[in-house]
């Protein structure tokens, strides 16, 4: 299954400004928060949304979707034992991500 999501970075930034630390720590794992630049976080958020869509996950499980990087730098998302291949792109005010669930672990 495929999932895609588009994030308007300034709007995302506004939500971060309103939701504050509580928002940050609900949306992202502690390690994902090392780089707190809005563009970066918007990309991660898009990826998580895409994974939710691809996996048909219930909302609110942002912390369960862990985004990390493979040796070659390509991002990958893990939800429990499921692995999703993801791709994130930024341009101007937008961040976009697609996710596809892999049948077996790579």
Partner 1 sequence: MTYHNFSDFLGSLERYDDRLALTIRTFIKIERLNYVDLRRRVNQVAQYLQSEGLKPGDRVMVIAPSSPQWVELFLGAQLIGVTIVSVDAQSSLETVQGYARQTEPQRIFKSRYLLPELADHYETIVLEEIDSLCAGQKQTAPAYQLTGRELAVIVFTSGTTADPKGVMLTQRNILANVSGVQEALTIDPNWRALSVLPLSHMYELTGCLALLSGGASIFYVPRVTPLAIVRGLKDYQITVMLAVPQLLIQFLERIRQAAEQTGRSALFEHMLRIASRLPFSARRLLFRSVHKGLGGHLDMVVTGGAPIPLDVATTWERMGVRMVQGYGLTESAPIIAVNNPTARRLDSQGPPLGNIELRLDDATKEVQVRGPSVFAGYWQNTVATKAAFTSDGWFKTGDVGQLDNGFLQVRGRTKFTITLASGLKVMPEDIEIVAERHPRFKALCIVGVHRAGGEEVQTVIISDKSDHAINTAIADLNSDLESFQHISSWTRWPEQDFPRTRLLKVDRRRVQDWANMSAHTKPQVSVVKHIPGDPLVTIIRLALNKPTERIHKHDRLSDLGLDSLRRLTVVSLIEEQLGVHVTEAAITQHTTVTELRHMVERGTPVMASPTWPKWTYWPWVRILGGVLRETLLRGVVRIWVAQRTEGANNIKDLSGPALYIFNHVDNLDGPVIYRALPRSVRRHLAVATADDVMHSHKVLAFVQRLCFAAFNFARVEPIMPSMEYAARLADQGWNIALAPEGKISADGELQPFKSGIGLLAVELGIPVIPVKTIGLYGTIPLHKIWPKKRSKVVVRIGRPVYFDTATTYDDATAQLQKMMETL
Tell me which residues touch partner 1 (CB under 8 A).
7, 9-23, 25-27, 29-31, 33-36, 38, 45, 49, 52, 58-60, 62-64, 68-69
Query: Among residues 21 and 104, whose Cβ is nearest to partner 1?
Result: 21
Give least dist CB 80 to partner 1, A: 11
Give least dist CB 55 to partner 1, A: 14
Per the listing, tokens 């961040």 go with 95
Query: Among residues 64 and 82, whose Cβ is nearest to partner 1?
Result: 64
Query: Among residues 27 and 47, whose Cβ is nearest to partner 1?
Result: 27
Q: Which residues contact 66 (CB under 8 A, 6 or more apart)?
A: 29, 32, 77, 78, 79
Query: In whole angstroms, what is the distance from residue 96 CA to residue 90 CA?
Result: 6
Give least dist CB 43 to partner 1, A: 14
Query: In whole angstroms, what is the distance from residue 93 CA to residue 11 CA?
Result: 9
């Amino acid at each position: 299954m495929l999932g895609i999501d588009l994030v308007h970075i300034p709007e995302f930034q506004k939500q971060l400004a309103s939701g504050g630390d509580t928002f940050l720590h609900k949306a992202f794992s502690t390690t994902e928060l090392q780089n707190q630049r809005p563009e970066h976080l918007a990309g991660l958020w898009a990826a998580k949304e895409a994974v939710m869509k691809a996996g048909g996950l219930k909302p609110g499980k942002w912390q369960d979707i862990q985004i990390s990087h493979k040796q070659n730098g390509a991002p990958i998302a893990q939800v429990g034992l499921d692995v999703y291949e993801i791709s994130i792109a930024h341009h101007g005010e937008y961040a976009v991500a697609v996710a596809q669930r892999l049948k077996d672990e790579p």
